[in-house]
Structures are given as structure tokens and as C-alpha cells.
């Protein structure tokens, strides 16, 4: 470390007198000891002081040596020798307040002594290295009453001075604080922080923050600030391991050693997907894209900034194309897709504009016919096309596609008793261009007796007709699934309800014809979803068995029907 030398000038001097203990004598001559020439017959002793200006000494430096240079103009020897003791203090002493009584007449703790022998060169300059590393005021005290010295003070031609040798003290190695050893999203600001360390105190003037993806090639961020942190803007760092270290500077631009290297893992968003193509000439285009780090994707189709199709979140690592399931009208659209990576971070949207232009099939006709257990829709169909039947409750527009077929007649059994519905048919050609029929409404047939049929074979309907001369017996059970817990300190239980429920219908009825009993068996043996309907409800259910008693004529049947979840809407 570099060494520097500076001289501190004397800015004041004085002496105190044992005979006038409370008096201070500012003087350009610093006296110490007893002058036998002027003080014959009395014991009188002086103590001298000199003050130095240390404001020019830079702060937070390491002082290695202080040398006092002083001019001795007169010495009185005793037995051919005289000794002077030099003391010092680093306190900011007001010289005018010094008195013999206050300092006990001996000055400050001795840091250096010099012995003069009779015949020494006087007057002359002398230099002594003080055994201290800080001094503002020095004191001169004779060894005994018989010794006497006069030293040139402030205002004289040869005032004393202090020569200070000091070294630069750069900051110590900083201590990294954060981020260390964790996962950090680089989609947000990342705060780097550290402790500024210095053996001599002070504050940081500037820093160099260095980061790297491999620990070899470093990118440096430099700022002049006392802040022991840096806010890295979002999306600055790449994904992966990030190595970082910091170097700090003090007010003299002296640099610390670099800190130890710390690491963390930056979690970045995936790159924005690139849409490669959107198929043309169809109302249901397929969007193809390329992406990286895809775990989930979301595709949206917009028209005039309004979302007309949304896949929501689709979990897939490899699928990078999606066919739009909605039928889109001719016109201009925007396709946009984004992907999410394994750290649950979304990319930005990749987008492209496209236009749908199709050659539509002829407008289909629609006739609705009410039958015993269904509503039948009748239409026409062109070559290389299929029909989609859409149904909604009359007072709503909650259309769902319930059938996809190449037949001209479509039967809808999944309707409630005596309820008004509305329908339309969509004709789709080989290019998936489409045209819709007019919307028609109709009341469903009224159900007198409960019926059951498999969704796999809707034409095979079992009707519950009799119960030994009475109406079929029906009981209904409903349970809300819940958990009951007991806790210390509570007298009664605590119940938590789930989203699930259990619905069951228990039927007792009589089947008089063997053919009907066999028909019931055939429906159950399909081991599939059962559509149950009566005058009040429809229910998709399962039947796992029954209990039957053979009578002379027919069977008495006990049957349990359990409601199940079933998606009625057809995927197109």
C-alpha cells in the first residue's frame, strides 16, 4: 500500500506556572522545568504545550509514524545533563484552558524522552519519533526542578512541527448478502445486496457488481453510490445459474478485494413462441408454432380485440399445434399463443394475423318432430359433409352440440319431460366451412312412467310400468359429502363440506313380461351410463345390479340408480 508524508503545522503554544497555578501563558517561547537564574530560592516549575493542525491529515488512513521536530533555544543542566519528557494527546484541547493545577504540572503521558548533556549543540532542531499514532497536542516537561528548557513555540521563527507518515487503507473484502443459493424470477427486479467493510470505518463511494453465467466471463455494473445494493432490472439476466461478486471503493477511490463468488438460479420466462402457420380455407383453422421450455400452452383467437376462442391452459410438452374447436365466421382474426415453463412463468404472447375465407355449403333445412321419448331433428345433408345438432333451453342461449352425424335424422333423448327447447342444425363440408339452419323451438314429450336407456343404445328404452297393482314405488336419497372433526376445546364437532354430493333413486316395480325383463337386463349388462327420466327429472346414472323376485307371472324388481358425472356435450 502506498505511503504518504504530511507535515502538521503548529497553531498555538503556551506554558503553565506552578506559582500561578490557575494562569495560562500564551507564548512563542515554551518553557519547562525551573530556571535557577530567575527563580533563585524558590521552587518554580513550568510545563509547556504546543498544538498542531491535524485537519489536513486525511481521515480513515493508517498512521505508521509521527515525528516531532522542535527547536531547543536554551538548556540549564544539572550535573552536566538535563532530560525532557514529551507527552501527547489526540484530544482537541483548548490551550487557553490549560493551567498548572489542571494538568498537575506534568503534561501528558510521556511517549518520548531525550537527554541533553553539557556541551550539546544549543540552539538547534531536534527530532523525536513519538510512540503514538495520533497527536493533536504535545507537552514538554523537564525531568526535575533542576532542569530547564526553552523551546521555540508558535509565532517564533522556528515553531515545532509534526511529520506524519500514513498508508492508504482500502476497504476490506465486502460480504455478499443476497441473492445466494435460491431460485429467483428474473421477470421482476432482482436486488443484489452486500455489506461494505472497512477497518477504518467510513462509507462506500462506489461499487462494481460483476455477474456471470459460467464463472469465467463477467459482465460489470458500476455505480457511484453509497447504497450497498443494486436493483437489477427485470429480464436482464438469462435463465440458469448466475455467479456474482462485488468490489467496493472508498472516498479515495481505493478498491477493496473482490468478494467471494455467490451463486443463485435465475428463473426466466420462456422465449415468446413463434407462430409458423395458420391453415386457410377452413372455419376451424389449425395453428402451428415453435417454442422452448414449454410445459403448458394457451391459444387464443381474437376478432376486433375480442376473444372468440380460448384453449385456457393445456398441459403439453411436445404438442405445438392446436385445431380451433369453434367454428369461426369469415373475416380477419389474430391468433396468439403463449407458453409456461417448469417454473410456472409465462412467456409473452406470440401473435399473427390471418383471414378466414370459406366456400359455405347450402343452408340446411330443419324440421322438429316430437316422439314418445325424444325429439327428432330432420334435415338434408350434402355429399362429403356432416351435421351437428345444437340444443338450448328455450329461455337461455346455452347451446351445446349434442350430436354429430352423417344421417339426416337425429334423435335427442336427453331431454326433460314437457320442457320447451330450441334447436338449430349446422351443416359442415369437407373443408369445415359451415352453414346454420334457422332456429326452431318445441316442447319435449311428457313422460308418464319412468324410463331407462343406455347412452350407447338410445333406441332400446325400458319403461317402468307397474308395481303389483299400484304405481311404481320410488324413494330418493341425497347426501352432501362432508368430513366431521373433533377438536380439543370444542364441545361439538366441526363439519367441512366438499363440492361433492351423492344422489340416489331406489325403485320397486313389477315387470310382467319376460321380454321386458330381458330388455332391462340387456341395458344393465352394457355396463355404461344410463339415462333415467321421469316426469320431474332427468339423470345420468349407473346401475350396478338389482334384486328380483320371480312370481308366477313376472318379476318384482328392486333397483338402485346412482347419479354420475357425464358430459353431454359432444366434442366436435
Domain ranges of the chain: 3-167, 172-267, 274-356, 367-443, 451-563
Least confident of 219-228, 462-471, 539-548: 462-471
Categorize the per-residue pLDDT at 463 as very low, low, confident or very high, splitting at 50, 70 and 90.
Answer: very high
Q: Chain centroid to CA 260: how far? A: 25
Confidence of residue 22 (pLDDT cuts 50, 70, 90): confident
Quick: pLDDT tens for 495-542.
999 999 999 999 999 999 999 999 999 999 999 999 999 999 999 999
- The pLDDT assigned to 291 comes to 95
* The three three-digit cell numbers of residue 315, written as one number: 398441459
CATH architecture of the domain formed by 3-167: Sandwich (2.60)
Task: Say if residues 320 and 309 touch (Cβ distance below 8 Å).
Answer: no
Quick: pLDDT tens for 400-448.
999 999 889 999 999 999 999 999 999 999 889 999 999 999 999 999 8
Split at pLDDT 50, 70, 90, the class of 156 is very high
- Is the per-residue pLDDT at 43 higher than 70? no
Long-range contacts of 469-472 (CB under 8 A, 24+ apart): 472/507, 472/508, 472/509
Q: Strand 262-267 and strand 183-185: pairing?
A: parallel
Query: Which residues lie below 8 Å from residue 483, measured CB to CB, with a gap of 6+?
Result: 495, 496, 498
Do residues 27 and 140 lie in contact, with contact meaning Cβ atoms separated by under 8 Å? no
CA distance 384 to 482: 52
Dist. CA 99–CA 25, nearest whole Å? 9
Mean per-residue pLDDT of the chain: 92
Picking from 268, 311, 314, the residue whose alpha carbon sits closest to that of residue 292 is: 268
**The CATH number of domain 172-267 is 1.10.3720.10:** no
Alpha-carbon distance 69 to 51, whole Å? 13
Q: What is the pLDDT of residue 219?
A: 97
Count of Cβ atoms closer than 10 Å to residue 109 Cβ: 11
Pick the CATH number of 451-563 from 2.40.30, 3.30.70, 1.10.3470, 1.25.40: 2.40.30
- Could you give the CA distance from residue 203 to residue 206 in angstroms, rounded to a whole number? 9
Instruction: Write out the three cell numbers for 516.
Output: 321386458
3-state SS string over 497-512?
EEEEEEEEEEEEEEEC
Please give the pLDDT value at position 468: 67
Model confidence over 234-271: pLDDT tens digits? 989 988 899 999 999 998 899 999 999 999 999 888 88
Cβ atoms 47, 6 nearer than 8 A: no
The residues, any chain, with a CB within 8 Å of residue 67's CB and separated by 6 or more, are 127, 128, 129, 130, 162, 163, 165
Distance CA 34, CA 148 (A): 5
- CA dihedral for 123, 129, 131, 132, sign (positive or negative): positive
Closest by CA position to 354, among listed 298, 308, 290: 308
Closest residue by Cα to residue 219 from 210, 228, 208: 210
C-alpha to C-alpha distance for 569 and 402, rounded to whole angstroms: 5
CATH class of this structure's domain 367-443: mainly beta
565: its cell numbers: 358425472
User: Collapsing DSSP states into helix, strand and coil, what is residue 523?
Assistant: helix
**CB of 273 closer than 8 Å to CB of 350:** yes
> Please, which pLDDT band fits residue 1 given cuts at 50, 70 and 90?
low
Q: Cα(327)–Cα(284) distance, rounded to whole angstroms?
A: 5
Other CB atoms within 10 Å distance of the CB of residue 468: 13
Mean of pLDDT values over 448-458: 93
The span from the CA of 405 to the CA of 411, in Å, is 11
Supply the pLDDT for residue 326: 92
Identify the CA nearest to 17 among candidates 7, 8, 27.
Answer: 27
- In this structure, what are the phi and psi dihedrals at residue 149, rounded to the nearest 5 degrees? -135, 145
* Pair 147, 45: CB distance under 8 Å: no
Q: How many CB atoms lie within 10 A of CB 382?
A: 14
Whether the CB-CB separation of 77 and 137 falls below 8 Å is answered with: no
Q: Please spell the DSSP secondary structure of 75-144, one letter per residue.
A: EE-BTTEEEEEEEEE-S---GGG--HHHHTTS-SPEEEEEEEETT---SEEEEEEES-S--SEEEEEESS
**Annotation: CATH topology of 274-356:** Immunoglobulin-like (2.60.40)
Q: How many whole angstroms separate alpha carbon 471 and alpha carbon 535?
A: 13
pLDDT tens digits for range 67-120: 999 999 999 888 899 999 999 999 999 998 888 776 666 678 888 999 999 989
pLDDT in tens, 319-329: 999 999 999 99
Residue 525 has phi, psi (to 5 degrees) of: -70, -10
Cα angle 498, 502, 504 (rounded to 5 degrees) comes to 170
- C-beta separation of 168 from 1 below 8 A: yes
What's the first-to-final CA gap in the chain, in angstroms? 80
172-267 against 451-563: fold identical = no
C-alpha cell at 397: 342461449
For the beta carbon of residue 376, count every other beta carbon within 10 angstroms.
Answer: 14
Question: Going by DSSP bridges, is the β-strand pair 400-405/386-393 parallel, antiparallel, or unpaired?
Answer: antiparallel
Dmax of the chain from CA atoms? 159
What is the Cα–Cα distance from 362 to 426, expressed in whole angstroms? 10
Closest CA to 412 of 378, 375, 439, 362: 375
Residues in contact with 552: Cβ distance below 8 Å, sequence separation at least 6, in sequence order? none
Q: What backbone phi and psi angles, to 5 degrees, belong to 96?
A: -65, -15
Residue range 5-13: mean pLDDT, rounded? 96
pLDDT at 196: 97
CB of 47 within 8 A of CB of 25? no
Amino acid at each position: 500500500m502506498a505511503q504518504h508524508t504530511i507535515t502538521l503545522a503548529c497553531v498555538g503554544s503556551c506554558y503553565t506556572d506552578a506559582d500561578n497555578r490557575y494562569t495560562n501563558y500564551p507564548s512563542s517561547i515554551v518553557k519547562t522545568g525551573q530556571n535557577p537564574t530567575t527563580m533563585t530560592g524558590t521552587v518554580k516549575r513550568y510545563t509547556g504545550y504546543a498544538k498542531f493542525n491535524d485537519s489536513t491529515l486525511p481521515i480513515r488512513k493508517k498512521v505508521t509514524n509521527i515525528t516531532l521536530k522542535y527547536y531547543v533555544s536554551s538548556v540549564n543542566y544539572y550535573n552536566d545533563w538535563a532530560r525532557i519528557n514529551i507527552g501527547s494527546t489526540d484530544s482537541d484541547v483548548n490551550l487557553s484552558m490549560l493551567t498548572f493545577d489542571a494538568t498537575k504540572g506534568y503534561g501528558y503521558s510521556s511517549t518520548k524522552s531525550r537527554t541533553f548533556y553539557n556541551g550539546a549543540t544549543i540552539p538547534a532542531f531536534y527530532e523525536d519519533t513519538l510512540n503514538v499514532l495520533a497527536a493533536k497536542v504535545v507537552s514538554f516537561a523537564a525531568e526535575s526542578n533542576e532542569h530547564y528548557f526553552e523551546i521555540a513555540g508558535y509565532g517564533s521563527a522556528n515553531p515545532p512541527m509534526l511529520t506524519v507518515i500514513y498508508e492508504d487503507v482500502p476497504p476490506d473484502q465486502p460480504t455478499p448478502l443476497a441473492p445466494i443459493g435460491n431460485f429467483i424470477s428474473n421477470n421482476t427486479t432482482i436486488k443484489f445486496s452486500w455489506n461494505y467493510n472497512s477497518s477504518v470505518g467510513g462509507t462506500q463511494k462506489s461499487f462494481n457488481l460483476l455477474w456471470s453465467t459460467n464463472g469465467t466471463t463477467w459482465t460489470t455494473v458500476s455505480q457511484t453510490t453509497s447504497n450497498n445494493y443494486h436493483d437489477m432490472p427485470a429480464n436482464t439476466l438469462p435463465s440458469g445459474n448466475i455467479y456474482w461478486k462485488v468490489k467496493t471503493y472508498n472516498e479515495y477511490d481505493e478498491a477493496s478485494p473482490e468478494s467471494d463468488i455467490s451463486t443463485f438460479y435465475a428463473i426466466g420466462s420462456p422465449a415468446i413462441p413463434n407462430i409458423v402457420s395458420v391453415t386457410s380455407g377452413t372455419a376451424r383453422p389449425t395453428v402451428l408454432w415453435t417454442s422452448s421450455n414449454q410445459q403448458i400452452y394457451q391459444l387464443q383467437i381474437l376478432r376486433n380485440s375480442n376473444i372468440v376462442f380460448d384453449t385456457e391452459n393445456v398441459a403439453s410438452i411436445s404438442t405445438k399445434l392446436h385445431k380451433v374447436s369453434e367454428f369461426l365466421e369469415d373475416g380477419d382474426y389474430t391468433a396468439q399463443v403463449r407458453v409456461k415453463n417448469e417454473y410456472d412463468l409465462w412467456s409473452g404472447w406470440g401473435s399473427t394475423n390471418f383471414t378466414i375465407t370459406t366456400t359455405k355449403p347450402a343452408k340446411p333445412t330443419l324440421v322438429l318432430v316430437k316422439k314418445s321419448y325424444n325429439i327428432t331433428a330432420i334435415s338434408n345433408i350434402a355429399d362429403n359433409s356432416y351435421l351437428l345438432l345444437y340444443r338450448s333451453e328455450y329461455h337461455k342461449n346455452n347451446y351445446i352440440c349434442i350430436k354429430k352425424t352423417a344421417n339426416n335424422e337425429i334423435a335427442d333423448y336427453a331431454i326433460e319431460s314437457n320442457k320447451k327447447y330450441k334447436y338449430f342444425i349446422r351443416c359442415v363440408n369437407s373443408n369445415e366451412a359451415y352453414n346454420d339452419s334457422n332456429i326452431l323451438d318445441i316442447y319435449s314429450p311428457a313422460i308418464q312412467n319412468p324410463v331407462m336407456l343406455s347412452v350407447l343404445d338410445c333406441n332400446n328404452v325400458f319403461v317402468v310400468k307397474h308395481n303389483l297393482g299400484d304405481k311404481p314405488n320410488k324413494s330418493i336419497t341425497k347426501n352432501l359429502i362432508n368430513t366431521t372433526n373433533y377438536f380439543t376445546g370444542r364441545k361439538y364437532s366441526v363439519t367441512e363440506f366438499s363440492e361433492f354430493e351423492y344422489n340416489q333413486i331406489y325403485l320397486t316395480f313389477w315387470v310382467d313380461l319376460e321380454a321386458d325383463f330381458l330388455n332391462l337386463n340387456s341395458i344393465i349388462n352394457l355396463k355404461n351410463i344410463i339415462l333415467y327420466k321421469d316426469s320431474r327429472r332427468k339423470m345420468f346414472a349407473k346401475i350396478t345390479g338389482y334384486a328380483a323376485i320371480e312370481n308366477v307371472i313376472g318379476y318384482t324388481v328392486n333397483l338402485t340408480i346412482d347419479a354420475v358425472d357425464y358430459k353431454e356435450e359432444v366434442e366436435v
